[in-house]
Amino acid sequence: MIDLRPYRSLHSVALVRDMLRRWWGLELALADAKGYVLDHADGKIFPSQNEFCRLALFSKEGFRRCNESVRVVGERLKQGRGGGPDAAPTAFVHDCHLGFDVVAAPIWSRGELLGFLFTGGGWSREPTAGDRNELVRKVREFATLETEAAAQHAASVPRLTEADLERMRELIAYAAGEISKVVTERAPRHEPVEPIVHPFTEIVGSAPTVREVIKLLEKVVRSESTVLIHGESGTGKELIARAIHYHGPRAKAPFVVQNCSAFNDNLLESALFGHVRGAFTGAVKDQKGLFEVADGGTFFLDEIGDMSASLQVKLLRVLQEGTLTPVGGTKPVKVDVRIVAASHKDLAAMVARKEFREDLYYRVNVLRITLPALRDRATDIPLLAHHFLRKHWKGQGAEPHLADATLDAMVRYGWPGNIRELENEIERMLVLGGEGPEIGPDLLSPRIRAGGEAPPPRPAPQLVGTLREVMETVEAEVILQGLIRTHWNKSQLAKELGISRSYLIQKCTQYGLERKDGGG
């Protein structure tokens, strides 16, 4: 369930809260989908004389009974009597435990009901003396007010006209709609998927693209055929090669790895096929090549697309005949090796450009596994991140957890270095974060923060009619009072209002809010 409390500071919500306080002396509250009140302005009520608003929203009994009312609201929504995930933002009126009117609006995100914005503490009908006496009696059941004080407060309960209720509905529906939009914008782009059970415990992830790889692996490991693994750098090609070996019939035999781009031709040829004494300067004794070392097992040739044409011919011979000739030697050596090749390059395109031998391509491309880029399996990022946290945590006790904002930024980032880059980033943050219990977004690398910032809240929509004019008036007043309070420090005020400085300057220009002495 998404925590809605951080969204109480949205500029649009703050405006609606201020209007409720100024016009009706009521407070804006927030509840989750189960009806539990999450936020009530930290217990502050403006104006403070509306004691019944405080009792309705903040007392222990008020909590319990208001929650019951909000649950009733939730049931009405589920039954389709208060809008829905695809409906326009709407709000409705419901009676609370004190007989006041509760005006509530739902907060939706991607079809899920997250909670409600609501207010209460006023009467929409003209109360009689009996109504007020009954109110005093109800309040004294669970409050510490003296009868006289309770009666005085009962006399000051706001009277809400139909026009008042309609305007309150519009305001609260607007604020709830803004929260819904921002929550949806900041939410991870991919829905979580159910974990899957498979024998390849070294493979972390359950995104649809990973499931397809696992299904293919279950068949590949039972064979002895040559495998070609294609994927961007950092997607885990060697991990898949190891899974093929250690879950296959050659698991007890050697697993040998060689990156074909690591050496020049001469060194790579010697590393692969070995050499005899005197084959070149420094060859003081016979040396087995990696093919002989891997005899009976699996040889993983990484970045095979970087192999020169001359070495491609010699590799082709090993695949076709199972024999090789060491550098400087004349006697062929027979080997039994399963080849798993990998490349981040498109070998088929290289064949078309005459950059890779066509006959070798068909020899290595018997079984093909294509690994998805991390950006194409973003739902796995939290799972992978937690896996690397546990792997690299060297401190005492449990490893720290990633803050929601950190995970959100990581999901939005494109990860050109794929899983390798993600693992390095986690290790880096663990070092910088020390022994702290949480890893916040401030520890992320600048490139990830820049590429993973949530989109800013959208400007308030242009509401029609009187409501728009009223909101612009209140907005201008809030900005003006803030400028006076901060001595026209726009950077400080922008931070307080939760908006950018450029947006604040734009609003100041719109409303003509400039210092008369030319400062600011």
Reported residue count of the chain is 520
CATH of 5-186, one of 1.20.120, 3.40.50, 3.30.450, 3.40.1350: 3.30.450
Lowest mean pLDDT among 14-28, 59-73, 316-330: 59-73
CA dihedral (298, 304, 308, 310) in degrees, to 10, reads 40
How far is the C-alpha of 196 from the C-alpha of 438, rounded, in Å?
A: 28
Strands (E) across 390-508 are located at 401-402, 438-439
Which of the given ranges, 294-303, 374-383, 386-395, has the highest pLDDT on average?
294-303
Residue 58 has pLDDT above 70, yes or no: no
Q: Is residue 82 predicted with pLDDT exceeding 50?
A: no
- The encoded tokens of residue 189 equal 């782009």
- Is the pLDDT at 467 greater than 50? The verdict is yes
Beta strands in 45-111 (DSSP E): 92-95, 101-109
pLDDT winner (highest mean) among 185-199, 340-354, 434-448:
340-354
Lowest mean pLDDT among 10-24, 222-236, 265-279, 504-518: 504-518
Query: Quick one: pLDDT at residue 89?
Result: 54
| All residues at 6 or more sequence positions from 173 whose CB lies less than 8 Å from its CB, including other chains | 89, 90, 91, 105
Cβ atoms 212, 198 nearer than 8 A: no
Residue scoring higher pLDDT (24 or 296): 296
**What pLDDT digit, counting tens, does each position of 390-420 carry?**
899 888 777 888 888 888 889 888 899 999 9
How far apart are the C-alpha atoms of 210 and 197, rounded to whole Å?
12
The arithmetic mean of pLDDT across residues 354-363, rounded, is: 94
| 366 pLDDT more than 80 | yes
Instruction: Dig out the tokens for 14 from the structure.
Output: 């703050």
How far apart are alpha carbons 272 and 275 in whole angstroms? Answer: 9
Higher pLDDT, 487 or 409: 409
Contact 336, 324 (CB under 8 A): no
Give the Å distances, CA to CA, from 216 to 87, 95, 197, 213, 299: 43, 59, 15, 5, 20
Q: Which CATH number fits domain 381-452: 3.90.1640.30, 3.40.50.300, 1.10.8.60, 3.40.1440.10?
A: 1.10.8.60
Q: Please check whether the domain covering 465-511 is classified as CATH 1.10.10.
A: yes
CA atoms within 13 A on the CB side of 246: 13
Do residues 167 and 89 make contact, with C-beta atoms less than 8 angstroms apart? no
Cis peptide preceding 47, ω within 30 of 0: yes
Range 462-485 average pLDDT: 69
Mind listing the pLDDT tens digit for each residue in 132-145? 677 667 666 555 55
Q: What sign does the CA torsion over 10, 45, 33, 1 have?
A: positive
Residues 304 and 320: their CA atoms lie apart, in Å, by 17
Are the C-beta atoms of 23 and 31 separated by less than 8 Å? Answer: no
The distance in angstroms from the start CA to the end CA of the chain is: 43
The pLDDT of residue 280 is 83
What does the domain layout of the chain look like in residue ranges? 5-186, 208-370, 381-452, 465-511
Confidence tier at 342 by pLDDT (50, 70, 90): very high
- Give the domain 208-370 fold: Rossmann fold (3.40.50)
Six token digits for residue 479: 């900005």
- Kindly write down the DSSP assignment for every residue of 379-415, as one continuous string: GGHHHHHHHHHHHH--SSSSPPEE-HHHHHHHHHS--
Within 8 A by CB and 6+ apart from 484, the residues are none
Phi first, then psi: what are they for 353, rounded to 5°?
Answer: -90, 5
Q: Which residue has the higher pLDDT, 452 or 246?
A: 246
